[in-house]
Structure 1
């Protein structure tokens, strides 16, 4: 039996259809789900044996409401989540023209790992240079909720809230060698 041949025009049409189908699920939509945020946090936490976090719809609602408030200016101003709800908070801002996904935000926060000195339990450089990392890694945090909005003037604003909050002065975010579970 002979293999069917596809004309150049048919092959081009198939290729165009594949491209259109791939574009229907943009990276921004496909990589910002609750599970994406949870998986990224848990991957970072797993490196140090820190227990996993789960998605919490109430925490996410708080994040979504605040992100909606910030969509007009996308200023990286904290919401006051600790005072209002007892949540910790990390913020991320991405400039216009980028897709900016959950991975960009979480990787930036986790990238502060090199600025955290476990032995002295302090940030290197300025006192707050590693606090995004320590919040991600805070072992008593068991739930997160995150939100992403596209800014009116371009760019992206991402916020994650943490329950319970971390970053208590004098306390380590985690103990090395312990494996905790959520």
Structure 2
């Protein structure tokens, strides 16, 4: 794969942020009940939910900031999309390669780094490709077509409503990141916003 970042584009949508808060509340109630039986199992159960919520916030914050900058409504987190992204990332972990999502009904952005990458860092790299986007002509100026700004266009695609993301750690500490978007963006002939 090389020692630098490699990126690929796709799309997907996010569910409403209140759903995530409701899910966290329910998980907290379940953990509190379990605590009466086993204090250790509560701590173990609560830690992954807090980490997942923090990662979801990192994925959402950077993308929603980019969307706000161009006057597009924020994305909502989708647990269903996040589960699909996690399943795809898990399947790709042994080879640490991008998932083949050509038949997927979702849009997607994927990234591979040779080191452990934070969600915010990956999102920032996708958003940074916006420097190659020319809104007047709806083209990417880097010479590589949509590969130069397709990830940005998916992030800011006006009709995309929901997002779900996951990361997998591969051999040698490499990170594979996948975000799914619904409805998908990057529709040829349509500007993102």
Name the TM-score, length of structure 1 as normaliser: 0.73
Asked if structure 1 preserves the Cα contact closer than 8 Å seen for 2:133 and 2:140, the reply is yes
**Larger Rg over CA atoms:** 1
1:67-78 map, 5 Å: 67-78=89-100
Cα separation, 1, equivalents of 2:73 and 2:109: 19
Shift of 1:31: 9.0
Cα separation, 2, equivalents of 1:154 and 1:76: 16
Q: Can you give the 5+ residue segments of structure 1 that lack an aligned partner in the other structure?
A: 1-24, 175-182
Asked if structure 2 preserves the Cα contact closer than 8 Å seen for 1:32 and 1:102, the reply is no
Asked if structure 2 preserves the Cα contact closer than 8 Å seen for 1:78 and 1:89, the reply is no
Shift of 1:77: 4.1
1:69–1:89 Cα change, 3 Å: same
Name the TM-score, length of structure 2 as normaliser: 0.69
Asked if structure 2 preserves the Cα contact closer than 8 Å seen for 1:131 and 1:167, the reply is yes
- 1:111 corresponds to: 128
Q: Secondary structure at the match of 2:163?
A: strand
- 1:33 corresponds to: 55
Alpha-carbon displacement from aligned partner over 1:112-141 (angstroms, at most 9, x marks no partner): 011111000011112121100000000100
- 2:34 corresponds to: none
Asked if structure 1 preserves the Cα contact closer than 8 Å seen for 2:116 and 2:173, the reply is no
Q: Can you give the 5+ residue segments of structure 2 that lack an aligned partner in the other structure?
A: 1-46
Cα separation, 1, equivalents of 2:112 and 2:56: 18
Counting matched residue pairs gives 142
Cα separation, 2, equivalents of 1:102 and 1:54: 16
1:7-86 map, 5 Å: 33-80=55-102, 83-84=103-104, 86=105
- 1:126 corresponds to: 144
- 2:158 corresponds to: 139
Cα separation, 1, equivalents of 2:187 and 2:52: 34
Alpha-carbon displacement from aligned partner over 1:143-162 (angstroms, at most 9, x marks no partner): 00000110034300000000
